Structure 1
Amino acid sequence: DPQVTAKPDVVQAITDRKLLQTLLDAGRLTRGSDGILHKGEA
């Protein structure tokens, strides 16, 4: 998918099996006070 391959940091995170933490760090996901992940604003 060209949208994914255009983001090498996301591809690297997928292969390193740390995608969720990478998305949290980038602000693409947020974790609510209840611990549930939500789509971020970034």
Structure 2
Amino acid sequence: MDLNFYLTDLHCQFCVLYVYHLMINNITSTALDIAFVK
């Protein structure tokens, strides 16, 4: 197993999780905004 490939793969997974995390935060805060405005 190539270590460099493994690290790159790990980095990609981390990036995906990070983007997913940001999306969830965005949706949550938007939902809270809508809930409090109404």
Relative to the length of structure 2, the TM-score reads: 0.24
Higher normalized helix content (fraction of residues): 2
- Which of the pair has the greater relative contact order for Cα pairs under 8 Å at 6+ separation? 1
If you compute each CA radius of gyration, which structure gives the higher value, 1 or 2? 2
Higher normalized strand content (fraction of residues): 1
